[in-house]
């Protein structure tokens, strides 16, 4: 297919799927002077720079500087005082191709996918665009402010309109990964049907956690090493807990119901009592914004009225229940009970739209399941990327 015949395409990454930069101002009060020393007042890449995580002192600074603070008076999240952040390369794929340009093997990057799109005629800045964002922030339910994420939706809307205009007013294909799918669905539903019909050709969502992720509960209790053995997960846990979008990715009651997801000797926790779970693990400050801001947001899953394709990895062992045998000590790693999914997102979450929209003939929905494709592998493994490219070509030829 000739490049001029292609519909413009915008890539929206998942959580942690693009670079972030930070700068420390005089208002920053570090827990240790070492947290200021390496950077001074200059902008630096904080996500992702693996050199920042080589020792416990660096990990503490990393977690501290990337954390968000919930301001109860403003009912919104903000950076830690004295830490400024920005998203580089908006509109381009540069910030998506590699998270850490010094370690180009980093996962969740889109370089393989971008190269495959280039092979069929896409060109960065001409008919191919990237829409990175500050993935720490999330949206909130109606009546609650979410300044950063709402501004991102406005920026993404403008990019869609710009991409269409640059390409002969062709409607745009939006290709998302993981959390990017949730953001894009809300973008569509927050704009008029006439706008969607004019500017959106097809919405292709890869590995979207439509109903949340059980593994988020594990991250809230035990943290995560991010694939680096030197990282102390309990240090990084504080940053993960203070990432607003992680609250959004906890299992949705509408998808997981009252099935026990975390089991302790004293009681069980399901998606229906997630606020109590947050309190039980010692993160009381997260319970109120979860109940007031996140739960109402979960009900906003309306039909977008544009063609949607969900592409999901299946038949990969995925944690679906956490069993804590330590007498209520959530710091200790639980026993994991596995089910189906993509290794991170559970099958019922990946396929939630299929079940929720099955009785809606007015909504075009196509579901593609790729056996053995993991959550990150869907962006990098040749057999998975090949299926994604097929769907992009199909969207371009669809009449």
| Alpha helices, H only, 224-370 | 233-241, 244-248, 253-256, 274-280, 287-289, 295-297, 347-350, 352-356
Contact criterion met (CB below 8 Å) for 310 and 205 = yes
Which of 49, 76, 134, 342 is catalytic? The answer is: 342
Which of 106, 164, 178, 207 is catalytic? The answer is: 178
Contact criterion met (CB below 8 Å) for 380 and 388 = no
Query: DSSP of 344-375, one letter per residue?
Result: SSBHHHHTHHHHHSTT-TTS-EEEEEEET--T
Which 3 state secondary structure label does DSSP give 44? strand
Instruction: Return the sign of the alpha-carbon dihedral for residues 49, 55, 58, 60.
Output: positive
Which of 106, 146, 375, 376 is catalytic? The answer is: 375
Whether 177 is catalytic: no
Distance CA(388)–CA(116), nearest Å, equals 10
Find the distance separating the first CA and the last CA of the chain, reported in whole Å. 15
Residues with Cβ within 8 Å of 6's Cβ and at least 6 positions away in sequence, in order, are 120, 121, 122, 127, 167, 396
Distance CA(70)–CA(76), nearest Å, equals 6
Whether 375 is catalytic: yes
Contact criterion met (CB below 8 Å) for 207 and 381 = no
Whether 342 is catalytic: yes
Residues that are catalytic: 178, 342, 375
């Amino acid at each position: 297919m000739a490049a001029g015949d292609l519909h413009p395409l915008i890539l929206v990454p998942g959580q942690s799927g693009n670079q972030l930069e930070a700068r420390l101002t005089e208002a920053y009060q570090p827990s240790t002077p070492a947290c200021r020393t390496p950077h001074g007042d200059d902008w630096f890449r904080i996500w992702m720079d693996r050199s920042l995580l080589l020792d416990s002192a660096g990990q503490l600074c990393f977690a501290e500087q990337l954390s968000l603070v919930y301001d109860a008076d403003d009912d919104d999240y903000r950076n830690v005082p004295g830490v400024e952040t920005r998203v580089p390369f908006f509109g381009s794929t540069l910030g998506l191709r590699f998270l850490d340009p010094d370690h180009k093997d980093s996962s969740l990057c889109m370089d393989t996918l971008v190269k495959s799109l280039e092979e069929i005629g896409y060109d960065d800045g001409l008919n191919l665009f990237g829409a990175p964002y500050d993935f720490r922030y999330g949206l909130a339910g109606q009546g609650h402010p979410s300044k950063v994420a709402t501004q991102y939706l406005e920026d993404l809307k403008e990019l869609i309109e710009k991409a269409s205009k640059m390409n002969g007013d062709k409607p745009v294909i939006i290709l998302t990964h993981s959390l990017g799918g949730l953001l894009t669905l809300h973008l569509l539903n927050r704009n008029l049907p006439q706008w969607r019909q004019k500017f959106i050709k097809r919405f292709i969502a890869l590995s979207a956690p439509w109903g949340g992720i059980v593994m988020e509960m594990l991250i809230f209790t035990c943290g995560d090493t991010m694939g680096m053995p030197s990282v102390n997960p309990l240090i990084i846990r504080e940053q993960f807990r203070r990432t607003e979008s992680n609250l959004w990715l906890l299992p949705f009651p509408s998808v997981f119901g009252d099935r026990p997801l975390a089991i302790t000797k004293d009681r069980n926790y399901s998606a229906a009592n997630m606020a109590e779970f947050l309190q039980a693990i010692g993160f009381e400050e997260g319970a109120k914004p979860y109940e007031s801001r996140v739960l109402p947001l979960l009900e906003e899953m309306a039909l977008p009225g544009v063609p949607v394709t969900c592409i999901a990895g299946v038949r990969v062992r995925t944690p679906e229940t956490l069993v804590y045998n330590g007498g209520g000590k959530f710091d200790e790693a639980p026993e994991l009970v596995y089910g189906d999914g993509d290794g991170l997102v559970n099958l019922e979450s990946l396929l939630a739209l299929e079940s929720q929209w099955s009785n809606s003939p007015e909504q075009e929905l196509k579901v593609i399941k790729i056996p053995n494709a993991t959550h990150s592998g869907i962006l990098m493994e040749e057999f998975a990327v090949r299926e994604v490219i097929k769907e992009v070509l199909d969207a371009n030829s669809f009449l």
